[in-house]
Chains A and B, each alone.
Chain A
Amino acid sequence: MIFGTQGTSAHKQVMKENFGGSVEVLYGELECPSNQWTSAKHVTQVKDRVR
Chain B
Amino acid sequence: MRAELTFRLSTLFDVRMTNLFARLARPVTLFSIVYAQTGGNLSNCRGGCDGGEQCVGNPFSQPVGDSECNFCARGRCYWPCNFETLCFCQSVEVGSPRVPPAPKSGFRPNAEILDPCQAGILTEEAFNQIVQPSNEEGRALYTYDGLCQAIMQFNKYHDEKFAGMGTETNTRADLAAFLAHAATDTYNFSVTREALHCVDPVTGSDAQTYCKPCKEEHYNFETKSCSQDYFAGIDSSYPDYCDLTRQGTMGCMCDKSVRPVSVVPGHADLTGYMAADDAYFTRGSIELKWNYDYLGASMSMGDGDYLCDNPDLVSTSPRHACETFGLFHAVAHNSFSTDYISRHVIKLLQGAPGFTSTWKR
Mark interface residues in A21-51 (1 if CB within 8 Å of B CB, else 0).
Answer: 0111111111000000000000001101111
- Cα distance, A30 to B9, chains bound together (Å): 13
A-binding segment of B76-84, B116-124, B145-153, B241-249: B76-84
On chain B, the residues within 8 Å of A46 by CB distance are 9
A4 to B340 alpha-carbon distance, docked (Å): 13
If over half of B's interface residues share one DSSP class (helix, strand or loop), that class is named, otherwise mixed; here it is: loop
Asked if B349 and A29 make an inter-chain contact with CB atoms under 8 angstroms apart, the answer reads yes
Given known pairs A30-B358, A50-B11, the reply for A10 and B332 (CB within 8 Å) is yes
Q: Are A3 and B177 within 8 A (Cβ)?
A: no
Cα A28 to Cα B339 in complex, Å, equals: 11
Chain A residues positioned under 8 Å from B340 (CB to CB) = 1-2
Contacting pair B173 A17 (CB below 8 A): yes
Identify which of B61, B173, B343 gathers the most chain A CB atoms within 10 Å of its CB. Answer: B173
Which residues of chain A come closer than 8 Å to B162, judged between CB atoms? 11
Contact A15 B165 (CB under 8 A): yes
B126 located at the interface, meaning its Cβ lies under 8 Å from any Cβ of chain A in the complex: no
19 A-B contacts (beta carbon < 8 Å): A2-B335, A3-B335, A6-B335, A7-B86, A9-B331, A10-B329, A12-B105, A14-B177, A15-B105, A16-B105, A19-B17, A24-B336, A26-B328, A26-B332, A26-B345, A28-B334, A29-B349, A30-B346, A49-B9
